Amino acid sequence: MAEGLLEAWHAPSLVSEVSVDAQAGKSTVKNAKVEALTTGPALTWTETEMALPMPLDFKDKLLVLALKSSDFIDDLDQEILRVSGLSAPSYELKIDGQSVGKFSKADLTDGINLATLDTPMLRQALEVHALTLRHNNIHFIRWRNIQTTLGTDGSPATKHDVMTDLDKLENEFVAEQHAAAQPRPHRYELNPAR
C-alpha cells in the first residue's frame, strides 16, 4: 500500500547513484557529492547524499518477506554504488569506519544497492523516522485528546495552556527532526578483502 501511495505521488526511486572509476580516480554522481577521492591500495572518498534511503528495518522478518514479495526496493529505494577499474577479486566496504560488507569485484562493477545494507545513511533515516513518529504522536494527542475532546467542556484556559505547551513540544520535535534529516558527509573506504 505504501508503495502505491509513493508511486501515485511520483516519489523518486533514486536516493543516489555514485560511480567511481578506481583507475582514473574520477567519479560521476546523481543526487550526491563526492570529494577527496584517492586511489591506491585503498580507494577512499567523502560522499554526501542529498536524500536518505527509506527507513526500513531489515531485522523485521515480516517486512523482509513483504519486500521480497514486491518491487518496492527496485521502484522506490535505489542507493547505487558502482566501482570500476578494480584489480582484486573482492573488497570490503567501510563507511565511517564501520564495515558495510564484502563484495566481489563483479558485484561492485555492476553496482550494489546500499539502501538494503546497514549503513550510517540507513541509521540516519531510521532516526528521522523515529522523530517523525514522536512528532506525529504529539500532534495527534493535541488534536484528538485536547482540541476535539475538550472543545465543548467549558474549560478554555486549561485547554489553551495544554495546547500551547503541546504546540511548543511539537515544534521542538519538528526542529530536531529537520536537523536530523540534513545531509551528512560520510567517509568511504574500499580495501581488497583478506
State what percent of residues in the chain have pLDDT above 90: 59
List all residues 6 or more positions away from 20 whose beta carbon is below 8 Å from its beta carbon. Answer: 26, 27, 34, 37, 43, 45, 81, 82, 83, 84
Q: What angle do CA 139, 141, 145 make, to 5 degrees?
A: 135
Lowest model confidence (mean pLDDT) among 33-47, 130-144, 147-161, 167-181: 147-161
User: What are the grid coordinates assigned to 167, written together?
Assistant: 504546540
Residue 191 has what pLDDT? Answer: 96
Q: Please, which residues bridge with residue 104 across strands?
A: 90
How far apart, in whole angstroms, are the C-alpha atoms of residue 73 and residue 83? Answer: 21
Residue, of 1 and 81, whose pLDDT is higher: 81
Per-residue HEC secondary structure of the chain comes to CHHHHHHHCCCCCEEEEEEEECCCCEEEEECEEEEEEECCCCEEEEEEECCCCCCCCCCCHHHHHHHHCCCHHHHHCEEEEEEECCCCCEEEEEECCEEEEEEEHHHHHHCEEHHHCCCHHHHHHHHHHHHHHHHHHHHHHHHHHHHHCHHHCCCHHHHHHHHHHHHHHHHHHHHHHHHHCCCCEEEEEEEECC
Q: Is the pLDDT of residue 7 over 80?
A: no
**Residue range 48-57: average pLDDT?**
91
* CA 135 to chain CA centroid, nearest Å: 18
Q: Is the pLDDT of residue 129 over 90?
A: yes
Predicted confidence (pLDDT) per residue in 99-122, tens digit: 999 999 999 999 999 999 999 999
Nearest to 116 by CA among 181, 175, 173, 72: 72
